[in-house]
Structure 1
Amino acid sequence: MDESRRDRDGEGRARNARPRDGLGRPLPYGAPGVERQPEGVVRSPDETVREAQRLLDAGMPFHAHEVFEDAWKSGPDAERELWRGLAQMAVGLTHSARGNTAGGARLLRRGAAALEPFRRAEPHGIAVGGLILWARELAGRVEDAGQAAGGGHVVDAAAEAPRLRPGAHLG
């Protein structure tokens, strides 16, 4: 494939067709990669939470962010900030696992702030209060470890995966 041309989807929109790893990093054309999440899938809130939890547990927060992004774009206006905040947390975990400690911490905190208005309601059984605490605690650890190591600290995305619902178990 001519790598100087932009990849396009069936409707002509720019879409990178390079394979990606579990953290969403592009791999060389032809390399085996992780199956990408289809874009624009409309799921129920329960399906969204279950699929995102499966991806988080598998150490694939970048792909979980895409699931949350679909809910953010297709869901009711009243829930946009909920799904956007969850997507930001997943991207924060992604950046932290890639070694971008400053960006990871910033996005984890931004996601936690977006979830604050949902803390009491816990929509769709999502453990909002626990997720806010998780994101802020992880942001602090990532930042501290990055500063101590001179940057580039990498966390294990699967080991750090949050529980979206109380009592949610792996697998």
Structure 2
Amino acid sequence: MDATSRDRDAEGRARNARPRDGLGRPLPYGTPGVERLPEGVVRTPEETLREAQRLLDEGMPFHAHEVFEDAWKSGPAPDRELWRGLAQLAVGLTHAARGNATGGARLLRRGAAALAGFGVPLPYGIGGDALIDWARELADRVEGEGVRRADGGGVAARPVDAADEAPRLRAGGR
């Protein structure tokens, strides 16, 4: 593929077909990557939480974010902020695992605020207080361990292990 052409789906919409690693980073064409999840899958809340937890446990928070994004876009309006907040937590973990302390902390706090604003208890057995505490603690930790980049581009940190840091989405651990 040359630099001026773009990947397109069957309807002609731009789609990046490059393979990706477990943290969603694009890899060179022809490199084996993590299997992409289909977009726009409509799942029940139970299926969404089960699939997202599996992906988080496997150290693939970027892919868990895509599962939450499907729920946010296809679910009922009253639940959209819940799924969006969970997607922000997953993207925050993704950034922290990539060593981006500034972006990781920002998104973890944004997701925690969205969940806190949704009200407690959270529906579907989601562990609201524990999940919010996890996000805030991880945000503080990655930001505290970070060092200011010489180019002024934010704070770089030692990347966290996404699988080791995976949150428990359900109250009581699963």
- C-alpha contact 2:143 2:157 (8 A) present in aligned 1: no
Partner of 2:164: 159
1:11-42 superposed Cα distances (whole Å, 9 cap, x missing partner):
11110000000000000000000001110000
Partner of 1:11: 11
What is the CA distance between 1:158 and its match in structure 2? 0.3
Instruction: Write the letter of the residue equivalent to 2:103.
Output: G
Instruction: Write the letter of the residue equivalent to 2:97.
Output: A
What is the CA distance between 1:147 and its match in structure 2? 3.0
Of all paired residues, the percent bearing the same amino acid is 74
Q: CA RMSD in A?
A: 1.5
Structure 1: give runs of 5+ residues left out of the alignment. none
> How do 1:26-45 residues align onto structure 2 when only pairs under 5 Å count?
26-45=26-45
Q: Which runs of 4+ in 1 moved over 6 A?
A: none
Tell me, yes or no, if structure 1 residue 100 matches structure 2 residue 105: no
Aligned positions, number: 169
Structure 2: give runs of 5+ residues left out of the alignment. 150-154
Measure, in 2, the Cα distance between the counterparts of 1:74 and 1:151. Answer: 35
> How do 1:83-122 residues align onto structure 2 when only pairs under 5 Å count?
83-122=83-122
The TM-score, its normalising length taken from structure 1, stands at 0.94
What is the CA distance between 1:152 and its match in structure 2? 3.3
What is the CA distance between 1:121 and its match in structure 2? 2.4
The TM-score, its normalising length taken from structure 2, stands at 0.93
